[in-house]
Amino acid sequence: MDNQSLIGQILNTWRVHNEINIYLLNEIPEKGLQAVPLASKGRSVAEQFAHIHKVRIGWLHYHTTGKRPQSSANTKDELRTKTKLLAALRQSGKAVEDFLAKALNGEAKTRAFGRQAVCWMGYLISHESHHRGSIMRALKQNGMRMPEKVALQGLWGRWMWGK
């Protein structure tokens, strides 16, 4: 396999992952955005999606400037609607993809993660998948369990069959 084919597969892996986040958010009823896991002081579903976006933007800022980003206290409040969350995930997902493409082509460098762009992508996917699990748990515990079409076919099926 040549380098460009491998880079294409890596970038597709990121796109599939980001599409899964967007698909899940689209399927959550509006009232589900406020769900919080029971017996938890944790983030609501909306806050978890906002956190995913904020972490992406923070790492991109760090990779490109070498500095931690200034905290945006308003981010949590600005990203409470599904429309704004979807736009934010699309924007940050594309920004991560663009940075990964540059890094994989030797035009940019990741900081930390052994300076390995694929390792950083693995971290993001792992981190965001953890939050997807928390989101699904919060919904289930609050009586909004996602149907099998979403929970299995929509999330796992996209990895295995591209659907």
At 64, the amino acid letter reads: T
* Residues contacting residue 24 through CB under 8 Å, at least 6 positions apart: 132, 135, 146, 150, 154, 155
pTM of this prediction? 0.91
**Nearest-angstrom CA–CA distance, 123 and 133:** 15
Q: What's the chain's Rg over C-alpha atoms?
A: 16
When pLDDT is averaged across residues 96-107 and rounded to a whole number, the result is 97
At 112, the amino acid letter reads: A
Q: Mean pLDDT for the chain? A: 91
The number of folded domains in the chain is 1
- CATH number of the domain that residue 124 is part of: 1.20.120.450
Q: Look up the domain containing 129 and give its range.
A: 3-161
Helices (H), the chain: 3-27, 45-65, 75-78, 82-104, 117-141, 148, 156-161
pLDDT tens for each residue of 53-80: 999 999 999 999 888 766 554 455 567 8
